[in-house]
Chains A and B, each alone.
Chain A
Amino acid sequence: MASLPYTLKLVIPFETSHHADIALQTLSPDPELKPDQLARAITISESSPSELVVEFLAVSDRVLRVGVNSMMDNLGLVAECLDELDIANFN
């Protein structure tokens, strides 16, 4: 196992803990493509159940940037789904 010295922690606040949980379940299944270069853990914050915490460990800052960028894109889509496609928004 290569050492993964470059780290970043994202804390993303959601409106409710339910939304944070949906984001967790939506983002978790897809594995990182190069697990030996980039490790990623997605959890719910222990201090606040409506906060999603994403932690990255990477072999280089380049790999870290690519991984974080892709996560931000995905988070954007999940947030848009939560905002726009809630049952309450229809009929």
Chain B
Amino acid sequence: MICYDISDKFPAPQEGRNYFVAIGLEGSANKLGVGIMLQQLPTKHTPVPRAQVLCNIRDTYITPPGEGFLPRDTARHHRNWVVRLIKRSLEESVLPAKMSGEVENRPIRVNDIDCICFTQGPGMGAPLQSVVLAARAISLMWKKPLVGVNHCIGHIEMGREITGALNPVVLYVSGGNTQVIAYSHQRYRIFGETLDIAVGNCLDRFARTLKIPNYPSPGYNIEQLAKNGKNFVELPYTVKGMDLSMSGILAYVDNLANEIFNEKSNSKLKYTTTGQKITPEDLCYSLQETIFAMLVEITERAMAHVNTNQVLIVGGVGCNERLQEMMKTMVVDRQGEIFATDESFCIDNGIMIAQAGLLSYREGITTNIKSSVCTQRFRTDEVFIKWRTN
């Protein structure tokens, strides 16, 4: 159970200012991200001012081909890098002169920051815990309040801010999460989700089976291999109502891959119906086509449920261009619009935590240091979205 301090007063910007600044720390999986975000108050001329990204930096823990990232090692990576990343984010952030009212742009100062935002969950326990330690320490040293952020809400709010999508169905697809979400009555409600492993986890683990590199990311490398796939191999298709199941597909395709790599095996599975030998590229292509088709199917159904024609794709798998293309085909058929962001905002990052945290902070919601314990399980619909109406 996540506890917040909720004030009935809305905090004002610092004296003489019409903007807020937040630093966001993200470390729920193998990416460590720090971002600094500036949000302006609305004015007569710009009733909905765009948030300004002052800095968005990331360091990814990369494991050798065939290996996944383990919680302990990932936590150690985050502990080793978090202080350096925070330092660099402050050094790289520039406060525009038109904001500070000074003659020239100047580097940001610690005192310019209004709140410290951190990922409170969901994610891997040990990495989350090592990042929250840094968040608490700087909160106490700089005398700024903490704001705990739900990782999924971070993705959604960042996607909305960057693309300007007003009320989309959100497909959140990453290494740890697969959800179809739509907003209703101050909650992001989950319309469908995976029943076992996440889409990204399925792709990452298949990349391990093929021993392809984890740099820049396993999913990206699968996407590149899939472009050279020529034969479609039929895989199980497992949509269950609004939900998906991915583990059976992974087991099946892993099994196929092992047959192909096993020189001695003479299984029929190694060949297509036309007698061609199946390649790893064919498997990547078929796996992508199958699971993305499942995602498009449940997204389309969610659009019909909530009667919207906008789709926003967020999360690490969201930068897969084939997924974006397949989704676009569906959305265009429905005379709708599709929104997606590039890898700097799709893949886990600190700036999305700053963005969502600042939205909470401006509504008077902060996290007491004693309640700042991270949690591995933290559902998207647990968060009260005070900053949205209707």
Q: Name A residues whose Cβ lies closer than 8 Å to a Cβ of B.
A: 22, 25-31, 73-74, 76-78, 80-82, 84-87, 90-91
Given the interface contacts A81-B141, A84-B83, A84-B87, does A26 sit within 8 Å of B133 by beta carbon? Answer: yes
Residue from A22, A27, A74, A77 in contact with B83 in the complex, judged by beta carbons closer than 8 Å: A77
B76 and A86 contacting across the interface, CB-CB below 8 Å: no
B109 and A27 contacting across the interface, CB-CB below 8 Å: no
User: Is B274's beta carbon under 8 Å from chain A?
Assistant: no
B residues 219-235 near A (Cβ < 8 Å) are: none
Measured CB to CB, the closest approach of chain B to A44, in angstroms, equals 14
Given the interface contacts A27-B133, A85-B86, does A76 sit within 8 Å of B79 by beta carbon? Answer: yes
Given the interface contacts A25-B369, A90-B110, does A77 sit within 8 Å of B82 by beta carbon? Answer: yes
B107 and A74 contacting across the interface, CB-CB below 8 Å: no
B129 and A30 contacting across the interface, CB-CB below 8 Å: yes
Q: Enumerate chain A residues within 8 angstroms of B107, measured Cβ to Cβ.
A: 91
Q: Enumerate chain A residues within 8 angstroms of B86, measured Cβ to Cβ.
A: 85
Bound-state CA distance A86–B141 (Å) is: 6
Residue of B nearest to A31 (CB): B373
Bound-state CA distance A29–B370 (Å) is: 5
Residue from B76, B82, B132, B137 in contact with A22 in the complex, judged by beta carbons closer than 8 Å: B137
**Mask: chain B, 242-273; 1 = CB below 8 Å from A; 0 = not:** 00000000000000000000000000000000
B residues 114-153 near A (Cβ < 8 Å) are: 129-130, 132-134, 136-138, 140-142
Residue of B nearest to A24 (CB): B140
Bound-state CA distance A80–B84 (Å) is: 10
User: Is B2's beta carbon under 8 Å from chain A?
Assistant: no
- Contacts between the two chains (Cβ within 8 Å), count: 66
A78 and B141 contacting across the interface, CB-CB below 8 Å: no
Q: Name B residues whose Cβ lies closer than 8 Å to a Cβ of A.
A: 76, 79, 82-83, 86-87, 90, 107, 109-111, 129-130, 132-134, 136-138, 140-142, 369-374
A90 and B79 contacting across the interface, CB-CB below 8 Å: no
Bound-state CA distance A80–B373 (Å) is: 21
Bound-state CA distance A87–B87 (Å) is: 11
Measured CB to CB, the closest approach of chain A to B235, in angstroms, equals 38
10 additional contacts (CB under 8 A) given A73-B130, A91-B109:
A22-B141, A27-B133, A28-B370, A29-B371, A73-B76, A73-B79, A74-B133, A76-B79, A84-B87, A87-B142
Given the interface contacts A77-B82, A85-B87, does A26 sit within 8 Å of B129 by beta carbon? Answer: no
Q: Enumerate chain B residues within 8 angstroms of A26, measured Cβ to Cβ.
A: 133, 136-137, 140
A82 and B137 contacting across the interface, CB-CB below 8 Å: yes
Bound-state CA distance A35–B86 (Å) is: 33
Bound-state CA distance A85–B25 (Å) is: 14
* A-B contacts, 23 listed (Cβ < 8 Å): A22-B141, A27-B133, A28-B370, A29-B369, A30-B132, A30-B373, A73-B76, A77-B82, A77-B134, A81-B83, A81-B133, A81-B137, A81-B138, A82-B141, A84-B83, A85-B86, A85-B138, A85-B141, A87-B111, A87-B141, A90-B90, A91-B109, A91-B110
Bound-state CA distance A51–B369 (Å) is: 21
A29 and B90 contacting across the interface, CB-CB below 8 Å: no
A-B complex: 9 closest residue pairs judged by Cβ atoms: A81-B137, A26-B136, A22-B140, A77-B79, A26-B137, A87-B110, A80-B83, A91-B109, A84-B83
Given the interface contacts A29-B372, A91-B109, does A78 sit within 8 Å of B137 by beta carbon? Answer: yes
Q: Enumerate chain B residues within 8 angstroms of A86, measured Cβ to Cβ.
A: 141
Bound-state CA distance A85–B86 (Å) is: 8
Q: Enumerate chain A residues within 8 angstroms of B133, measured Cβ to Cβ.
A: 26-27, 74, 77-78, 81
Q: Enumerate chain B residues within 8 angstroms of A30, measured Cβ to Cβ.
A: 129, 132, 373-374
> Which of B87, B133, B138, B373 has its CB near the most chain A CB atoms (within 10 A)?
B133
Measured CB to CB, the closest approach of chain B to A69, in angstroms, equals 11
Bound-state CA distance A27–B370 (Å) is: 10
Measured CB to CB, the closest approach of chain A to B2, in angstroms, equals 13
Q: Enumerate chain B residues within 8 angstroms of A87, measured Cβ to Cβ.
A: 110-111, 141-142
Measured CB to CB, the closest approach of chain B to A41, in angstroms, equals 16
Q: Enumerate chain B residues within 8 angstroms of A81, measured Cβ to Cβ.
A: 83, 133-134, 137-138, 141
Q: Enumerate chain A residues within 8 angstroms of B142, measured Cβ to Cβ.
A: 87
Bound-state CA distance A77–B132 (Å) is: 11
Bound-state CA distance A12–B136 (Å) is: 19
Bound-state CA distance A80–B374 (Å) is: 21
